[in-house]
Amino acid sequence: MSWEENVRRVEPYVPGEQPKRKDIIKLNTNECPYPPAPGVTAALERMDPASFRLYPDPDAKMLVHALAESYGLRDEQVFVGVGSDDVLAMIFLTFFQSEKPILFPDITYSFYDVWANLYRIPYEQIPVDEEFRIRFEDYRKENGGIVIANPNAPTGIAVGKKQMKDFIAEHRDVIVVVDEAYVDFGGESCVDLINEFDNLIVVQTFSKSRSMAGMRIGYAMADEKLIRYLLDVKFAMNSYTMNRPTLELGVESVRDEAYFKETTAKIVATRERMKTELEGIGFTCTDSKANFLFAAHEKIPAAVMFERLKEKGIYVRYWNKPRIQNRMRITIGTDEQMDVLVKAMKEIIGEEGSFDAKVSVEWR
Amino acid sequence: MSWEENVRRVEPYVPGEQPKRKDIIKLNTNECPYPPAPGVTAALERMDPASFRLYPDPDAKMLVHALAESYGLRDEQVFVGVGSDDVLAMIFLTFFQSEKPILFPDITYSFYDVWANLYRIPYEQIPVDEEFRIRFEDYRKENGGIVIANPNAPTGIAVGKKQMKDFIAEHRDVIVVVDEAYVDFGGESCVDLINEFDNLIVVQTFSKSRSMAGMRIGYAMADEKLIRYLLDVKFAMNSYTMNRPTLELGVESVRDEAYFKETTAKIVATRERMKTELEGIGFTCTDSKANFLFAAHEKIPAAVMFERLKEKGIYVRYWNKPRIQNRMRITIGTDEQMDVLVKAMKEIIGEEGSFDAKVSVEWR
C-alpha cells in the first residue's frame, strides 16, 4: 500500500494568464482599469502594521456590517470570504450534498464543474440556446441545486429580475445560487429577493466593479439560516479567512457609493462605444451587461486573432472549447486601451484577411 | 423535499475570544507581543493601492521563493495558504481519502477533529500519557494518515528530531503531517527530513513567531509531488487565496532573519523566567517549548483562576474538557504583561485560598 492511493485527484481550474511584462494591455481577467476608491488609499496610509500581530476579527464584523448597511440588509444576512471563488466553493460544499445532480448552463463560469468535481457533487450542464441564452424551461427536472451566473460569463448576457424571480419560485425545494459577479455593469440584482426566498443565495465580488481583485473579497447574501450554515462550515475550516488589511480597506470601498457609480458608469459607456466600433469592423457581439464583450469575427478565427493580439502585447481571453471556440472575451479597459485594441485589430484584419485570401487562391 | 436535507451540518471550531476592549492583556490566542519585522512597516508604506485592481499572482511566487530560500529548499517544495488552518484543511481534504482512520493525539490542536468531521474522514484519537507525552508506540496500527503537532498544543511538549525521524520512517506508507506552528520557540524542526521522506509534510505559520496572525499566512513544506497534489486542490478551490498585501509583507518578514531570532529569543527567555515564577506560587507547568505555558495550580481550580483573571482584564485560555480541565494555557507576552499577570495571580491565590479554606471549614 502507498499513501498515493488516498490522494484526492482533481482537474484544477486554469486562471487567465498573469503576464510578468509591465507594458501589456491586460484585457484577459475582467479586472477594472480604474484604481480603488480614494478612501482605500487613505485607509492604507493610516494602517498600523503593529496591529498585524493580532488575529483579525473572525466574524469580519466591520466588513459584514458595511455591506449589510449598503444593501439595506441585516448583518446576519451577509457572509464574506476570500473572493467570490472562496464563497462559492464553500456554498458548493455546504449546500450540495444531494445524490441528485446540480444544474448549471453548459456555457458559464468554468469553475462550477471544477468545484463539483472537487467535492464529488453530481452535476448536469444544461445547454444554452444558439444565441447563448439560458433555457430556463430545461431546468424543470429533479436536481440537487441550481447555479446561474447573471449576467452569465463569458457571454455577458443578463436575465431580468422578473424572470429570475419566477425561476427561483419554481425551484423552492432546492438552493438556487445566483452569481452576480458582473451585475454592477447593467444587470438587475436579485438581492432584495432574499427576503422573500429562503432558498436563494446571491453572490457578489469586489474584484470587478470595486477594483479590488488583488484584495480578494467576495460575499454572499441570503436568508439568515443559510448564512448560519455557511458560517458553520467556514468555522470548521478556517476561523480567520479575512486578514486585517482586507477588512479595513474593504469597508472604505463599500462606503464610497459615488465613486463606485462613477467608475461602473464609465466602463458601461466604454463598453457600448466599443461594441459599436467592433461591429463596424466585422465583429458580432452578444448584448453584454458585464465589463467585457464576447465577440466573434466574420473572417478571422478567434484563435488567430487571440495569438496575433498577444504578439502585439494585448491579452484577451480565449477558450478552445465547443460552441465558443470562435469567440474572444475582451475585458473593458480604459478608452485609451480600447483605442489601441481596435487599431491592432484593424491591422490584423488587414494582414490576415489578405493572407487568408491568398492562401485560398493558392489552394483552390 | 426541502433543500435542508442537502446541507452539510458540522460542529464548528470555537476560536479564542477576541475582546473588543482595548485595555485587555490578551494571553489567550498565542499571538506574539512584539510587532512584525521593521521591513513589513516599510513595505506597507510603499504599497501602491492602485495595484489592488489587479489579481494577485495565483502562484504566490515571491512568497514561495522567499520561504524556499530561507529554508534552503526549492520553490517546488513549498506551498502557501491563508494561515496554517487553511493549509492544514487543504491537506486533510487532499491526502486523507482512506477508509481507515487517521490518527492524532487525544490532547492536541482542537481543529484536527473538526476538519476530519467536515470532510467525513474517519479518525481515532490516541491518548497521550499521564504527563501529556505522545505515545508513539500506540500509532502502530492500520491507519489512513497521521497528524502530530510538535511542539504539541496546548501542552507545549516537544519531541526531538531523532524520535520524529524514526516515527516517520515507521509509517512510510501513509502521509505524516507535522504541525510545527510553535517550533521556533525551542523545538527541533523536521523540515530537512522532507528531502528524505516523500510521505512527510511539515506545516508552519506566520501567526506566532513572525507576529503576523492578522495577515493570515501559513505554509507547508514537502516533497515536490505532494506539493503538486496540494496545488491541484487549491486551484480547484480558489486560484487566488493570497492577496497582494500578504505576498508583499510576508516576503519582508521572511527576509529579516535577525529580527526573527531576536524576538523569538526574547519570548523564550520570558517563558523560562515565568515558568520559575509560576512554580514559585504553586503552579505545575509542562516543559513547554512553545510561546505559552500550560499550567495547573495546586489549590485554585483552573476554571476559577480563568474567570478571576478575566475580571481583572487578563485573558488566558481554558478548556472544560476531560484530562485538561484543571489547566490554563497562558500565552507568553512582554515581561511587563507577565509581571501584571503574576501580581494578579498572587491576589487571586490569596483571596480564593482563604475563601476556599473558609468554605471548607463551614461545610465540614
pLDDT in tens, B265-313: 999 999 999 999 999 999 999 999 999 999 999 999 999 999 999 999 9
Model pTM score: 0.95
**Of B119, B110, B108, B180, residue with least CA distance to B151:** B180
B36 and chain A: CB distance < 8 Å anywhere?
Answer: yes
A65 burial class (0-12, 13-18, 19+ CB within 10 angstroms)?
middle
Residue in B5, B29, B55 nearest the CB of A55 = B29
Q: What is the pLDDT of residue B362?
A: 38
Residue of B nearest to A95 (CA): B7
Query: Strand runs (DSSP E) across chain B, as ranges?
Result: 25-26, 78-81, 102-105, 123-126, 146-149, 176-179, 200-205, 218-222, 283-285, 292-297, 314-315, 317-318, 328-331
Chain A residues lying within 8 Å of B9, measured CB to CB: 229, 232
Q: What is the pLDDT of residue B356?
A: 53
Query: Strand runs (DSSP E) across A229-341, as ranges?
Result: 283-285, 292-297, 314-315, 317-318, 328-331
Q: How far is CA B100 from CA A271, B143, B144, B146, B203, in A?
A: 56, 5, 5, 11, 23
Supply the DSSP string of B134-162, one letter for each residue.
--GGGG-S--S-EEEESS-TTT-----HH
pLDDT at B20 over 90: no
- What average pLDDT score do residues B198-226 get? 98
Q: How far is B286 from chain A (nearest CA, A)?
A: 25
CA A118 to chain centre: 19
| B189 contacts: CB under 8 Å, gap ≥ 6 | B161, B180, B183, B202
Q: What is the pLDDT of residue A361?
A: 39
Residue of A nearest to B90 (CA): A237
Q: What is the pLDDT of residue B355?
A: 53
Q: What does pLDDT average to over chain B? A: 94
Q: Are B339 and B332 within 8 A, CB to CB?
A: no
Q: How would residue A274 be classed by pLDDT, with cut points 50, 70 and 90?
A: very high
| The length of chain B, given as a count of residues | 364
Q: What is the pLDDT of residue A355?
A: 53
Backbone angles phi, psi at A250, to 5 degrees: -60, -45
- Chain A residues 269-288 within an 8 A CB cutoff of chain B: none
Residue of B nearest to A211 (CA): B53
CB–CB contact B229 A9 (8 Å): yes
B354 and chain A: CB distance < 8 Å anywhere?
Answer: no
A337 and chain B: CB distance < 8 Å anywhere?
Answer: no
Work out the percent of chain A whose per-residue pLDDT is above 70. 96
pLDDT at A357 over 50: no
Q: What is the pLDDT of residue A360?
A: 41
pLDDT at B361 over 50: no
One-letter amino acid at A223 equals D
pLDDT at A151 over 50: yes
The pLDDT tens digits of the residues spanning A33-61 come to 999 999 999 999 999 999 999 999 999 99
- Are β-strands A328-331 and A292-297 bridged in parallel, bridged antiparallel, or unpaired? antiparallel
User: CB pairs under 8 A, 24+ apart, for B357-360?
Assistant: none
Residue of B nearest to A249 (CA): B49
Q: How would residue B358 be classed by pLDDT, with cut points 50, 70 and 90?
A: very low
The pLDDT tens digits of the residues spanning A200-248 come to 999 999 999 999 999 999 999 999 999 999 999 999 999 999 999 999 9
- Angle CA A52–A54–A59, to nearest 5: 105
- What average pLDDT score do residues A162-182 get? 98
Chain A residues lying within 8 Å of B26, measured CB to CB: 54
A82 and chain B: CB distance < 8 Å anywhere?
Answer: yes
| B21 contacts: CB under 8 Å, gap ≥ 6 | B313
One-letter amino acid at A95 equals F
- What average pLDDT score do residues A79-103 get? 97
pLDDT at A315 over 50: yes
CB–CB contact B36 A53 (8 Å): yes
- What average pLDDT score do residues B85-95 get? 98
Q: What is the pLDDT of residue A364?
A: 31
B56 and chain A: CB distance < 8 Å anywhere?
Answer: yes
3-state DSSP helix/strand/coil percent for chain B, to nearest 5? 45, 15, 40
Q: What is the pLDDT of residue A358?
A: 43
Chain A residues lying within 8 Å of B215, measured CB to CB: 52, 243-245
Q: What is the pLDDT of residue A22?
A: 78
pLDDT at A18 over 80: no
Residue with the larger pLDDT of the pair A22 and B106: B106
Spatial separation of the C-alpha atoms in residues B82 and A107, rounded to whole Å: 31
CA A350 to chain centre: 33
Q: What is the pLDDT of residue B338?
A: 98
